[in-house]
Structure 1
Amino acid sequence: MAIPLLIIVGPTASGKSRLSIEIAKFYNGEIISADSMQIYKYMNIGTAKVTDEERQGIPHYMIDIVEPNVKFSVAEYEKMAKPLIDDIFKRRKLPIVVGGTGLYVDSLIYIMNFSEYIGNDDFRSALKNIASVLGNEYLFERLKMIDPKTYSKLHPNDLRRVIRALEVYQFTGIPISVYQELSNKRINPDYNTVMIGLNYRNRETLYKKIDDRVDAMIKNNLIDEVVNLLKIGYNKYGTSMQALGYKEIVEYLEGKVSLEEAIADLKTKTRRYAKRQITWFKSYETINWFYVDDYSSFEDLKKNIISFLAGKLKFK
């Protein structure tokens, strides 16, 4: 019997976390995060982690599992998340995967052979050195020339994945997007998956949500969070510190930009990231989109989705 699996995706600030908690309460579910930055400890404000109070007693997994200086791959995510899905289901609860990292979602719903992606430590180190001298944008533009599909889905600050894409092409002659497309044709039969996508018809409404979230992060002491991470000794060039919100604040702390400029830059980059997330999720053929601004309230949205799910999978 295939395991029932609910996946909730959407751009940043679309309300995924709040919705997932309400659905978990209604359908006796537990939540597995699919966010590549929420896996890191001590990075709470900039990654918009749900607080203990906001979780309302619903168990959350794949959050705060590694130190900020530890590399973490999508293959490792798959290895850890799948047993969690199995365990949740064995306890007669609904596994709910929630997040905005498309590669993490792909690793669950598709059969992906990560061993076929050849790697080379020396090549990766050389590219990191290039990025430190010429900037992330330089490598990002190289990726655009060889693999525009992957380029459109990534951000220059996602240096690890940019380097990975360049590495795969260098040693196989084939863009990583081709490997992913081949993998994507093999649906994982272990799960009976229903995917919900949250979005806004009016893009400016989403952008206003993003701007408000950034302002709230600053108000909630994002600057202090970044200062403390640097004091602990985490490298500003590390993967985790390249996340949206952290790199921009580091540049402010180093005097390279004013606080106003850092905030404006973060808002712009987050909007671009949201656009890339939407592009990624639109590639899922079986996704069921719900537009938040079609509803007069969150309660109406929640009721509509709960009603929709009742006809798709029997969770209770």
Structure 2
Amino acid sequence: MKRLLSACKEITVPSISMSFPGRINMESFLPRNRKDKVVIVMGATGTGKSRLSIDLATKFPAEIINSDKMQVYKGLDIATNKVTDDECHGIAHHLLGFVDPNVDFTADDFRHEASLVVESIVANDRIPIIVGGSNSFIKALVHNNIEFQSRYCCCFLWVHVSLPVLQSFVSKRVDRMVQSGLVDEIQRFYNPKLTNSKIGLRRAIGVPELDHFFKNENSENLKEAINKIKANTCKLASRQLQNILSLQTQMEWDLHHLDATEVFLKHGFEADEAWERLVARPSGLIVRDFLYEERDFPKIMNTNSVITPPSMTTAVNAIAAVAR
């Protein structure tokens, strides 16, 4: 057998041509084995990755897989900025808050667990959307996994915000987290016997920074701790951005760049309009073209539609657009 490979398809053709009398070539009747498709949403912390993944999952029949290395742990929902039930809009989320906070969940662990979830989602004729800022998890799943590469074709969406604008935003976000009960949440998690440990969820930004405050509670120590949380969150955003640029160069991934900077410079309705124009609508078109190739399906999509694909595990010949 010889294999003809393309970016998103794998076609298997017999090495010996088969034909009936009259020279009808049977190769033209052989079924095509297509790689199943996976959408991956990348970006630094605070850029709106979760929002985009949920936007996409309301337009396409999809389920979301978390790839944030702190959000996989149970607990500290405020500190790790997990999406709330209301924000999920009924979209299924996987690998979110399921790991014991006192153990280390590694990139290899993620590769194993995510592979199983992707397989399950695809088997149910739905689209996996992997979202998170932990680029080492994405690399382990996609690049360091030959089986994954042989079975799936990936569409990479990169939500980017200018670093100075993003750093200002994440600093304000820390203030909102404090108002939402961040300090009390971490204090309930705090264990003075384990303050020097860097295992599991204790590595989350906010836990080590508040250690000194819990030992010597006063307003100055709290202010200092909050400033450290802001500074370390900004450093994380910068590091994640550098990692994405490095992956783009090293892996030669085709990252679809979505610049959301303008969104973060506006407020209210204007910010929502900018998000739809600069991020949600363009990414929807990118994913539509990725999932439904022009020669197979009509290109039917609008921002108020749920697009239902045919079976992703068999040959497909049609697509229906169902109004929400």
TM tier, shorter chain?
0.7 to 0.9
Deviations 1:279-315 (A, max 9, x none): 1111223111111025652222211211122222227
Q: Which residue of structure 2 lines up, in the alignment, with residue 42 of structure 1?
A: 75
Look up the match of 1:248. 209
CA apart distance, 1:195: 0.4
3-state SS of 2:257 partner: strand
Structure 1: state its 5+ residue gaps. 114-185
Give, in whole Å, the separation in 2 of the partners of 1:299 and 1:37: 28
Q: Within the alignment, does 1:230 sit opposite 2:193 as a pair?
A: no
Give 2:181's match in structure 1, choosing from 221, 224, 239: 221
Taking the aligned partners of 1:234 and 1:57, their CA distance within structure 2 comes to: 39
Give, in whole Å, the separation in 2 of the partners of 1:66 and 1:203. 31
CA distance in 1, matches of 2:262, 2:51: 17
Conserved in 2, the CA contact under 8 Å of 1:30 and 1:60?
Answer: yes
Paired-residue identity, %:
27
Equivalent of 1:289, from 257, 262, 273? 257
In the alignment of these two chains, the number of paired residues is 242
Aligned mate of 2:169, from 209, 217, 221 = 209
Return the alpha-carbon distance in structure 2 between the equivalents of residues 40 and 216 of structure 1: 22
Q: Which residue of 2 aligns with 1:311?
A: 289
TM-score, scaled relative to structure 1: 0.72
Q: Distance in 2 between matches of 1:228 and 1:104?
A: 29
8 A contact 1:69–1:234 mirrored in 2: no
Counterparts of 1:154-169 in structure 2, within 5 Å, are: none
Measured in 2, the distance between the counterparts of 1:224 and 1:56 equals 27
Contact map agreement 2:35 2:153 (CA 8 A) in 1: yes
- Paired with 1:17 and 1:87, the residues of 2 have a C-alpha distance of 21
Please give the residue correspondences for 1:180-191 in structure 2 after superposition, counting only pairs within 5 Å. Answer: 188-191=149-152
CA distance in 2 between counterparts of 1:57 and 1:291 reads: 27
Tell me, in whole angstroms, the C-alpha distance in 2 between the residues paired with 1:34 and 1:292.
21
Equivalences for 1:195-206 in 2 at 5 Å?
195-200=156-161, 202-206=162-166
**Is 1:102–2:70 an aligned residue pair?**
no
Give the number of the structure whose residues are more often helix, by fraction: 1
Query: 1:5-54 CA deviation, whole Å, 9 max, x = no partner?
Result: 00001000000001100101111110000011011111211100001111
Q: CA shift at 1:203, angstroms?
A: 2.1
**Alignment root-mean-square deviation, CA:** 2.1
Q: CA offsets per residue over residues 38-90 of structure 1, 9 Å max, x none? A: 11111211100001111010011111111211121111111111010011111
Q: CA deviation at 1:111?
A: 2.8
Distance verdict in 2 for CA 1:44–1:234, change over 3 Å: farther
**How far off its partner does 1:230 sit?**
2.3
Could you tell me which of 27, 44, 61 is aligned with 1:11? 44
Change (3 A) 1:234 1:74: farther
Q: Distance in 1 between matches of 2:104 and 2:144?
A: 23
Aligned with 1:299 (options 257, 265, 276): 276
Aligned partners of 1:234, 1:210: CA distance in 2, in Å? 30
TM-score, length basis structure 2: 0.70
Partners of 1:61 and 1:107 in 2: how far apart?
A: 17
Shift of 1:187: 8.1
Are the equivalent residues in 2 in contact too, given 1:69–1:238 (CA < 8 A)?
Answer: no
Quick one: distance in 2 between partners of 1:87 and 1:112? 17
* TM-superposed deviation, 1:272: 1.0
**Other-structure match for 1:127:** none
Alignment of 1:123-142 (within 5 A): none
Conserved? CA contact 2:39–2:287, under 8 Å: no
More strand by share: 2
Q: Give, as a single letter, the amino acid of the residue that structure 1 aligns with 2:119.
A: D
Q: Aligned with 1:31: secondary structure?
A: strand
SS at match of 1:225: helix
Does residue 1:58 correspond to 2:91, yes or no?
yes
Please say which structure displays the higher CA radius of gyration: 2
**Quick one: distance in 2 between partners of 1:235 and 1:22?**
40
Following superposition, the deviation at residue 250 of structure 1 comes to 2.1
Q: Distance in 2 between matches of 1:254 and 1:242?
A: 18
